[in-house]
A and B are shown apart, each in its own frame.
Chain A
Amino acid sequence: MSKRARFWRSQALEGYLCILPWLVSFVCFTALPMVGSLAVSLTNWSLLSPPQWIGFGNYRQLLADPLFYTTVYNTAYITFFSLPLRLTLALLLALGLNQKLRGVNVYRTICFLPSQMPVVASALIWLWVLNPDFGLANVLLTFLGLPPLKWLFDVNLAKPSIVLISLWGGTGTAMIIFLAGLQGVPESLYEAASIDGAGRWTRFVAVTLPMISPVIFFNLIIGIIASFQDYFALVYVTTQGGPANATLIYIIYLFFKGFQDFQMGYASALAWLLFCVVVILTAVQFLAARRWVYYEVSEGR
């Protein structure tokens, strides 16, 4: 064995040793349970009784389940309204907080703080804010001469209310990542653009957006993956999927099936379908990213 090969092998070995604790826990607590849940999805299993093999029975049942489609619609609605709004708001905040302002660190902390609040606590606070009787939101509406709303208790307003709450808690983290991206844009590019006569808007479109496109892409990927899974606590605390299933999102339904109705096989089938959808959406985004994400170190784009 050559000296170089021995060196590489020893380096690789050290690397593997370093990641071994993570690797072991990943295999034990993530990979194996995932494989296990795939097997469970092919069974009828109430947890307390032995599982019965039913092949693709759960998947067939799922396609005939009207509530499945309700949850897909609700989840898609919340994701596709919440995510763009959240990212836009986060980017605007980051742009604002990237200016050289007096006390900017205080503003940054204030904007970041809601995302650090436990979801259950923030959901409870919002439950009070949106209380139809004495909530702050309705006090404000009444003050403005508008009629009070039922918010989370109104079939038509429940989903928008969830979107509203998610904006409050979910913007901070994306904002911080955007801010880091903005601070990495070389000042020289702005100066060059200014010399070429570019105004603020042109500089933003021609310099800022391309330069932070990897960060936007990262936030988008993480946001979409999280959207399919992250609203559990918020919805569970505020509406439990109601009223009249208006906020029954996919992950809540999965929980109900698995841990309230003891239909672990069906819940596993739901989980695997969700996994497949998330993988497909992520793959599509990676393909689409070639057209709009700019990497300084990539092949010339």
Chain B
Amino acid sequence: MQVPEKRRLSRRQVLSLVALTGLFPLVEACTTASPPTPIPPPPPAQSAKSASPIAAAAPTAASQPAATSKITLHALYSSNDPYDHQVFVQLFDLFGQKNPGLTVDFNDTPLSGFVQKATTMIVGGTPPDVMYLHPSFFLNFVYAKQVRDLTDMVKPNRSAYIPVQLDFWTFQGRLYGLPYNSNPSIMYYNKTIFQKRGVKTPEEYEKAGAWTWDQLRALAQQVSSGTGASRVFGYAADPSGLQFYTCVPVWDNQGELTNPEQTKWLLDTQPVIDVMQWHADMFLKEKTMPMPSDQQGTVWFFLTGRVGISTGGKNNVIQAANAKLDFEIGQVGTPKGKVGPINRDGPLASGIPLGGKYTDDAYRLVYFLGSPDAAPVYLGTGRGLPVQTSLINSEWFTKALKPWERAEVYANAAATVRAWIVPGKNPNEENRTFATEWQKVLAGQSSVPAAMTEATQTMNTQLT
């Protein structure tokens, strides 16, 4: 029998095959990319008849998912820490349980890379159905017309929300985000330090109606002591954060950071200069505030036990509770100045990017996150303050308070919130400019008036 001759491939043929095989995945990768999703026009206003927020939030019959159909909503959010991540996971699970047929694909992206991720998804034609909104980048997406105008959709539910919480996400009269978290400023103080020094606590001054910025400064001097690595500082805050801190003492000093039209910065006006000088003196002359080099973040530094009073928020409670502290914590509201107290907020919201497929279901989710339905998880875990009126005295919220937390501090803080976020198309650039000028003051390279003048001039060019 004749054995058939084995067919041998030439070296050239082998190489050609190898090269072509190598090309297949590449060609496939290039050709299977989904084409950009065309951006649909905003949906018409929904005509929900019910006054009940929950009923009104229900999607129209046409868009109601069939009981058997499965819809996955892609949610791009950013958690603060592993604990916060779990809160989101529980919330989305709860949403799935309450909305059969809907599941949430949770994409947890760190805040530092969040804008890049969201931008890439939107520009790539695969926007998430729902996305997290933070004051530091909210306006970028609004200016670029990439988040849906929710003004008409929210009409039936509008009254459910604390009005100021909606104001944060309103631009030129239109609403672009639904809040789910409120985090106004409060102050933490180290009770043990005050007791050891025999100094009256901020809480005592607050109860006496004498809790003022000047009193805070005096207390800071009384509790500051020591040198070097063991120095205890009276007060910790970061005045380079316009929105996250500085606006509060400025407003309390009857100052404004911008003109009412938000077309001009007013950092070189006397009330603002006074506030910044007040801080500069505490940093540089009295040394009652820790320099940025002394701390790794204000709250972290407070938790080391080396600070008398520190700014913070509800979101720091979990951090404080998990830390093994060898001192007692107390809470107090922000002080008052010539007026006030007027507070800021660290609000968070959900937006619906344009181009998503399931607008009604996405709305259902963004409404759910701040609603009473989500309260057992969101408020029950002590993560934030409510954004809806009916939840202000929620049992879920009060039950989650730690023994050292004071409900009235949160209530007062929430009641004095003023909605403001850094305006303009370049908030990051403006924040960086302000921080740089402030660093020059701390480094002794510039005086407060000169730094504020320089900041105003530069930031005015960045505002438009």
State whether the Cβ of A191 lies closer than 8 Å to any Cβ in chain B: no
Q: For window 38-66 of chain B, which residues contact chain A by CB distance below 8 Å?
A: none
Name the one of B119, B228, B440 contacting A133, with C-beta atoms under 8 angstroms.
B228
Which of A18, A46, A155 sits near B443, CB closer than 8 Å? A155
**Shortest beta-carbon distance, A247 to chain B, in Å?**
11
B16 is contacted by which of A17, A28, A260, A262 (Cβ under 8 Å)? Answer: A17
Asked if A153 contacts B293 (CB within 8 A), the reply is yes
**How many angstroms from the CA of A152 to the CA of B140 in the assembled complex?**
32
Interface residues as binary, A286-298 with B (CB distance below 8 Å gives 1, 0 otherwise): 0000000000000
In the complex, A47 Cα to B137 Cα: how many Å? Answer: 14
| Residue among A20, A47, A153, A243 making CB contact with B23, cutoff 8 Å | A20
By DSSP majority rule, is chain A's interface helix, strand, loop, or mixed? loop
Does A261 lie within 8 Å of B442, measured CB to CB?
A: no
Q: A18-B15, A48-B123, A48-B146 are known contacts. Are A153 and B292 too (CB-CB below 8 A)?
A: yes
Nearest chain-B residue to A142 (Cβ)? B228
| A153 and B115 contacting across the interface, CB-CB below 8 Å | no
- Nearest Cβ on chain A to B154's Cβ, whole angstroms: 23
| CB proximity of A219 to chain B, nearest CB, Å | 33
B215 in contact (CB, < 8 A): no
Most chain A C-beta atoms within 10 Å of own C-beta, residue among B16, B146, B229: B229
Q: Which residues of A contact B420 (CB under 8 A)?
A: none
Nearest chain A CB to B10 CB, angstrom units = 10
- Structural contact, A244 and B293, CB atoms closer than 8 A: no
Cβ of A49 within 8 Å of any chain B Cβ, yes or no, is yes
Given contacts A48-B119, A133-B228, is CB(A153)–CB(B428) below 8 Å? no
Q: Is the CB of B23 within 8 A of A244?
A: no
Are A21 and B436 also in contact (CB < 8 A) when A13-B12, A153-B293, A261-B426 are? no
- Contact partner of A245 (CB less than 8 A), chosen from B22, B294, B436, is B436
Docked-complex contact A21 and B140, CB < 8 angstroms: no
How big is chain A's contact interface, by range?
35 or more
Give a binary string over A1-34; 1 marks a CB under 8 Å from any B CB, 0 the rest: 0000000001001100110110011001000000
Within 8 Å of chain A (Cβ to Cβ): is B19? yes
On whether the beta carbons of A150 and B144 are closer than 8 Å, the reply is no
Given contacts A13-B12, A21-B26, A260-B428, whether A46 and B439 have CB atoms under 8 Å apart is no
Distance (whole angstroms) from the CB of B159 to the closest CB of chain A: 32
Question: Is A256 an interface residue, CB under 8 A from the partner?
Answer: yes
Q: How far is the CB of B12 from chain A (nearest CB, A)?
A: 6
Partner of A134, one of B16, B119, B229: B229
A154 at interface, CB cutoff 8 A: yes
Is the beta-carbon distance between A21 and B23 smaller than 8 angstroms? Answer: yes
Q: Whole-angstrom distance from the CB of B235 to the nearest CB of chain A?
A: 17
A-B Cβ contacts below 8 A, count:
93
Map CB proximity to A onto B422-445 as digits: 1 under 8 Å, 0 otherwise: 000110110010011101101101
Chain B binding site: helix, strand, loop or mixed by DSSP?
Answer: helix
A204 at the interface (CB under 8 A from B): no
- Per the bound structure, the CA–CA distance linking A14 and B14 in Å amounts to 10
B141 located at the interface, meaning its Cβ lies under 8 Å from any Cβ of chain A in the complex: yes
Q: Is A132 an interface residue (CB 8 A)?
A: yes
A160 beta carbon closer than 8 Å to chain B: no
Flag if A243 contacts B292 (CB, 8 Å). Answer: yes
A-side contacts of B228, CB under 8 Å: 133, 148
Docked-complex contact B292 and A21, CB < 8 angstroms: no
Q: Report the Cα distance A243→B437, complex, angstroms.
A: 10
A17: chain B residues within 8 A (beta carbon): 15-16, 18-19
Q: How far is the CA of A218 from the CA of B432 in the complex (A)?
A: 38
| Chain B window 387-430, contacts with chain A (Cβ cutoff 8 Å), 1 for yes, 0 for no | 00000000000000000000000000000000000000110110
Min C-beta distance of B368 to chain A, whole Å: 27
The 3 closest A-B pairs by CB, nearest first: A48-B144, A153-B293, A244-B439
A residues whose Cβ falls under 8 Å from a Cβ of B: 10, 13-14, 17-18, 20-21, 24-25, 28, 46-49, 131-134, 148, 150, 152-155, 241-245, 256, 259-263
Assuming A24-B23, A155-B439, A241-B432, what are 16 further A-B pairs, CB within 8 angstroms? A17-B16, A18-B15, A20-B22, A21-B22, A28-B30, A46-B143, A46-B144, A46-B425, A48-B146, A49-B143, A49-B144, A133-B293, A154-B293, A242-B439, A244-B437, A262-B425
